[in-house]
Amino acid sequence: MEIDLGLLALRLLIAVLLGAHACQKLFGWFRGRGVAGAATLFEADGLRPGAPMVVVAGLTELAAATLFLAGLATPLAAAMAIGTMTVAISTLWPKGVWAHMGGFEVPLTYASIAFCLAITGPGGYALDRVLPWSIHGPLWALGAALLATVASLPLVLVVARHRRGA
């Protein structure tokens, strides 16, 4: 029971943070830039056209947050979160790890939480528990990470190529 409560708390944490992160991009909430402002940042990293890229990233993060919140298809939610956060890490990589110096600490934390939830599963207080399957464990987490890597690699390469040309 304590483990299920802990996993519920962790799922709620990542769902709220990742959902709010998406809403900053999509709607300008929580002192975010909205699509137009975020598009400028995306384009500065070589991710063009910026506005559609922002919308895809924001909707992917919002979908992952919703799945985490419900405790549904956790490895898919993890893959979505890890993929978007991998691209974010690639844009922040030159600044180092720490967020206070503009680094990738926050997206690394979100991706790590998502990966850990893919290993453990969503816990007892989740929609996955009432469905006739159980999809979690180390192989599911590795599959989620592999899917995220394959999906995000083209954008990571665009960012790297842009950085070399800049």
Contact 4, 124 (CB under 8 A): yes
| Domain count of the fold of the chain | 1
Question: DSSP per residue over 120-133, as a string?
Answer: H-S-SSSGGGGSS-
Is 41 a domain residue? no
Tens of pLDDT, residue by residue over 24-70, are: 999 999 999 999 999 999 999 999 999 999 999 999 999 999 999 99
Instruction: Decide if 143 is inside a domain.
Output: yes
SS3 11: helix
Whether 134 is in a domain gets the answer yes
> DSSP labels for 137-157?
SHHHHHHHHHHHHHHHHHHHH
Ranges of residues in the chain with a pLDDT under 50 are none
Q: What is the pLDDT of residue 166?
A: 64
Tokens (6 digits) for 136:
């979690």
Residue 103 lies in a domain: yes
pTM over 0.75: yes
Q: Kindly state whether residue 48 falls inside one of the protein's structural domains.
A: no
Residue 81 located in a structural domain? yes
The residue type at 20: A
Say if 119 falls within a structural domain: yes
Picking from 137, 29, 154, 156, the residue whose alpha carbon sits closest to that of residue 74 is 137
Domain residue limits at 146:
2-13+56-165
| Domain-embedded: residue 38 | no
Contact residues for 114 (Cβ-Cβ < 8 A; gap 6+): 14, 64, 68, 77, 78, 81, 82, 85, 144
